[in-house]
Amino acid sequence: MCQGMENGLTTPVMKKEERAGKRSQCRQLFRSSWLPGSVPRPVLKRGQPSHRGTPVKAKKQKRVSGSPDQEASVQLGVGLEPSRSAELEEMEKLVAVLTGHFSSFLESSIVVDCRYPYEYEGGHITGAVNLPLQRDVEEFLLEQPSVALDSSKRVIVIFHCEFSVERGPKMCKFLRERDRSCHEYPQLQYPELYVLNGGYREFFFHRALQSHCEPRDYRPMAHPAFKEELRKFRGQSRRGRRELLVRGRDL
C-alpha cells in the first residue's frame, strides 16, 4: 500500500514568518468546527442533539493527531449544537472552498462522502467522491495520492456521512492512521483532515445550498426501499475492517 509514496506530499518546510502568515490567513477565513484544532473556535453552549429522532448519545470530542502545526479535530458525537446561523455559515464556507474562493492558498479540496452508494446516488454535494469502504479510501487517497504542485499551497480532505456522527469521523480517523503508517512522523500525505459538522442531511436542508447538490434530493440510509442494499454494504464494511486488521497484524 505504501509503495511509491516516498515522493508524496509532506508538511511544507517554511520559514517561521511564512508559516505564521498562513495560519493567520486560516484564522481569518475559517472558524468552524470542521477545521483544525489549531484554529480558535467560539465557545458553544451544550444543547440537545441537532438530529431529532436519531438516538445518538453525546460523546466527548477526540483529536486525530496530525503534524505539530496542523491537527484535525474529529467530532465523534453530537454533544455541542451550533446555532442555525453558525451552522449555515459553516456550510457556506465549504461551498466557498469548493468554488475556488480560497485558491490563493488551497491547491485542492477533496470532499469524501462516506455514505453508501444508494444514498450518494439519491443526492450528494457537487464534486464529492463516494468512498464508503476503507479499501476505497486507501485506493483513492493513498495509492493514488493528490499532491500539491505548488509547495506554498495545501491539499485538504473533508469527510462527511449522513449526520457526520459515525461513518465520516471513523473514516477520517482511518485515513490518519494509514497515512501515519506510511510516513515517518511528523510527515504526512494529508496533514489536514476535516469532518463536516451536520453531514449531508444538514447541508441539504439549508435551502440556499441545495443548488450545490446533485441531484437535489436526500436519501436517508434507513430508506425502506433500500433495506437489502443497506444489509449488503454493512456486511462489506465489517469484512473490510476485519481484513485490514489481519493485514496490519501481519506487517
CB atoms within 10 A of CB 164: 28
- Residue among 199, 201, 177 nearest 190 (CA): 177
Q: Please report, rounded to a whole number, the percentage of residues in the chain having pLDDT higher than 90.
A: 51
**2 assigned to active site:** no
| pLDDT at residue 16 is higher than 90 | no
pLDDT higher at 157 or 78? 157
Taking the C-alpha atoms of residue 219 and residue 243, their distance in angstroms, rounded to an integer, is 29
Domain locations in the chain? 32-250
- pLDDT, mean of residues 173-196: 92
Confidence of residue 136 (pLDDT cuts 50, 70, 90): very high
- The predicted pLDDT at position 90 comes to 80
CB atoms within 10 A of CB 66: 24
- pLDDT, mean of residues 173-197: 92
pLDDT higher at 105 or 122? 122
Question: Which one is catalytic: 26, 161, 172, 182?
Answer: 161
Taking the C-alpha atoms of residue 71 and residue 55, their distance in angstroms, rounded to an integer, is 29
- The predicted pLDDT at position 70 comes to 38
- Of 5-14, 100-109, 136-145, 174-183, the one with minimum mean pLDDT is 5-14
- pLDDT, mean of residues 224-241: 90
Q: How far is CA 3 from CA 7, 8, 137, in A?
A: 10, 10, 16
Homologous superfamily of 32-250: Rhodanese-like domain (3.40.250.10)
Taking the C-alpha atoms of residue 81 and residue 94, their distance in angstroms, rounded to an integer, is 18
| pLDDT at residue 240 is higher than 80 | no
- pLDDT, mean of residues 177-201: 92
Q: Please report, rounded to a whole number, the percentage of residues in the chain having pLDDT higher than 70.
A: 63
| pLDDT at residue 160 is higher than 90 | yes
- The predicted pLDDT at position 248 comes to 56
